[in-house]
Structure 1
Amino acid sequence: MRIVFMGTPDFAVASLAALVNTGFEVAAVVTAADKPAGRGQKLSESAVKKYAIEQGLPVLQPIKLKDPEFIAALKAINADLHVVVAFRMLPEMVWSMPPKGTINLHGSLLPQYRGAAPINHAIINGEKESGVTTFLLKQEIDTGDVIDSRKVSIADDDTAGDLHDKLMVVGADLLVDTVKAIEAGDYQEIPQDPAVEIKHAPKIFKDFCNIDWNQSAETVYNLVRGLSPYPTAFTTLNDKNLKIFKATVEHKEPGIAAGGFLSDGKTYLKFATKDGFLKLTDLQYEGKKRMTVEEFLRGIRL
């Protein structure tokens, strides 16, 4: 069975490597175009492209997925199945092309957390469980028939980065099992339940990351976890942005206005919420590197 794999970041590399290591024929890889990055604005290759080149796999990098040259090249590959992991929304002419369809690996237990940021929003909402789902693509995003899924528990102190790494490994195994089932014709297509009340996972923008200290300590804590390590929750201190990567909750009456802070200038810095404190442990001040709260306090006068 000839496969075209479509993906861009590290999350997708694990799945691509699992398919290659299992012995599936990956006829080509489709990934994002190289982009300028860093101070020198040198062209940077996606993680998937780097892995594909190491494995000697043909790589396609279309700017537009409806480009006639790209469509012609894709048809010429004559794939049986397209596999999508952390890529872009595909036009119908692409996902409907192969005879066995196009499957996607999604970082949630569908139908919950459809959208671009399922890992972040699961943590932000304080979920205790998430998972990965393989499903067949159709027109509306993340709504296709489910083939299989796996559950993953979320610890109370897991960040989005921690959950990402768990799902990356479990997702790669699930994808291999799904492709094996499709190759054998031994699988069911299960429609997503339209009666379920859906929690969405839209793309995250900067304004969303700005902490509202009038919320509960638990809510702010989950926001910090859900945005760490990227794009990162932040507040302002001395008129500069302060990114917060890790923190703990203190459940006690704040005694000061929400958004105010307490510090001994040496070992702790904590911000008041409406019902407690968020005690910072790992942060980054504007113009500085990421550091512990102790390192930060040694270099600043509050």
Structure 2
Amino acid sequence: MRLIFAGTPEAAVPSLEALAASDHEIAAVVTRPPAPLGRKRTLTPSPVETTAVALGLPVTRASRLGPDETAALTALHADLGVIVAYGGLVKEPLLSAPRLGWVNLHFSLLPRWRGAAPVQRAVIAGDTETAVEVFQLEAGLDTGPVFASETVAIGALETAGHLLARLAPIGARVLARVVDDLAAGIAVPVPQEGEVTPAPKLVLADGRLDWREPADRVFARIRGCTPEPGAWTTVADRRLKVLEAAPARDVAGGAPGTVTAVDRRVLVGCGEGALELLRVQPEGRGAMAADAWLRGAGTGVVLG
């Protein structure tokens, strides 16, 4: 078939590579424009654009699929549109332009976690499993019937970043199979069933830790907000990023937010239990081991 591929982040790269290696033709790769990255805020092409250029595929940069982009993509007379974490909406008339419409690779057990941050929301909620699912794109947000699904366990210590990196190649394999089945005319979608839960994009405030919560809930939020938008707390009204932590089930927790050092371990009391801080980043400084930070911070530290 003749395909249009839309995607932006690293998680979409395995899918693009899988389709490029298939018997199908990719007529266009749509991705968001270069974004400022790093401390110098250097404009950097998306991982999907970098991969597409290396593969010799035509690239369309677009922050939104407006009338001009719709006209150009419609003129390609594609059989199918494929979207993987593009970061923008596909609306009519572009939604119906390809002969078979569009399919979307999503990283959740739909209809649980419909939206932009399904992996992060699943980890924050303490879910023990998620999925990769390929569904027919509709006007509604992640509402279409599902062509294929594969359930994946979430590791007890796994961050959202690690989980997404693990899901991406699994999703690419499932997506490639669905595209082949659509080409053969044997793909059969199944309507979504179950309770709908939203997964809106995370903002900085989602990363703030509440030490009054049980330790397992605080740990889940740290994992779900790593690497983006980042988990954080405050020390004397200055932000402290929590880059890495671990459960501390072998010790009793002190008062919520109270920091203590036990055999070079940096422990923080929670509403129930305690967490061990491993790596942190004080405001205006670089990342460091938690015990090095605490030696500089002194005694009587309370996190807010």
Task: Report the equivalent of 2:266.
Answer: 269
State the shift of 1:63 in Å: 3.7
Equivalent position of 1:213 in the other structure: 211
Shift of the alpha carbon at 1:166?
A: 1.3
Equivalent residues, number: 297
Alignment partner for residue 242 of structure 2, among 244, 247, 253? 244
Structure 1 segments (4+ residues) deviating >4 Å: none
The TM-score normalised by the length of structure 1 is 0.93
8 Å CA contact 2:30–2:61 kept in 1: the answer is: yes
Q: Structure 2: how far apart are the matches of 1:32 and 1:277?
A: 42
In 2, Cα distance between equivalents of 1:300 and 1:259: 15
1:1-302 maps to which residues of 2 (within 5 A)?
A: 1-66=1-66, 68-87=67-86, 88-193=88-193, 196-251=194-249, 252-254=251-253, 256-263=254-261, 267-297=264-294, 299-302=296-299
CA displacement at 1:64 relative to structure 2: 3.3
Task: Verify the 8 A CA contact 1:4 1:27 in the aligned structure 2.
Answer: yes
Q: Quick check: 2:160–2:225 contact (8 Å CA) kept in 1?
A: yes
- CA 1:38/1:160 → structure 2, altered by over 3 Å: closer, same or farther? closer
Letter in 2 for 1:260: T
Provide the TM-score with structure 2 as the length reference.
0.92
Secondary structure of 2:150 counterpart = strand
Distance change >3 Å, CA 204–CA 43, structure 1 → 2: same
Cα drift, residue 70 of structure 1: 1.5
Say if 1:5 and 1:83, in contact at 8 Å, map to a contact too.
yes
Q: Deviations over 1:124-171 (max 9, x none)?
A: 111111111000011111000110011111121111112111111100
The more displaced of 283-292 and 157-166 is 283-292
CA 1:76–1:224 in structure 2 vs 1: closer, same or farther (change >3 Å)?
A: same
What CA RMSD, in Å, does the superposition of the two structures yield over aligned residues? 1.7
Residue 175 of structure 1: how far off its partner (Å):
0.6
Ranges in structure 1 where 5+ consecutive residues have no aligned partner: none
2:197 aligned counterpart, secondary structure:
coil
2:302 is matched with which residue? none
CA contact (8 A) 1:267 1:293 kept: no
Gaps of 5+ in 2: 300-304
Give per-residue Cα distances to partners, 1:206-242, cap 9 Å, x unaligned: 1121111111111101111111122121111243211
Q: Are the counterparts in 2 of residues 160 and 226 from structure 1 also a CA contact under 8 Å?
A: yes
Aligned residues with identical type, % of pairs: 39
In the alignment, the residues of structure 1 paired with residue 228 and residue 72 of structure 2 have an alpha-carbon distance, to the nearest angstrom, of: 35
Deviation, 1:295, is 4.0
Alpha-carbon displacement from aligned partner over 1:59-104 (angstroms, at most 9, x marks no partner): 11124312x3222211221111000000122112222110111000
Q: Which moved more, 1:6-15 or 1:159-168?
A: 159-168
Measure, in 2, the Cα distance between the counterparts of 1:25 and 1:262.
59
The CA distance in 1 between the partners of 2:154 and 2:35, in whole Å, is 34
Aligned residues of 2:241 and 2:282 also touching (Cα < 8 A): yes
Q: Which amino acid aligns with 1:296?
A: W
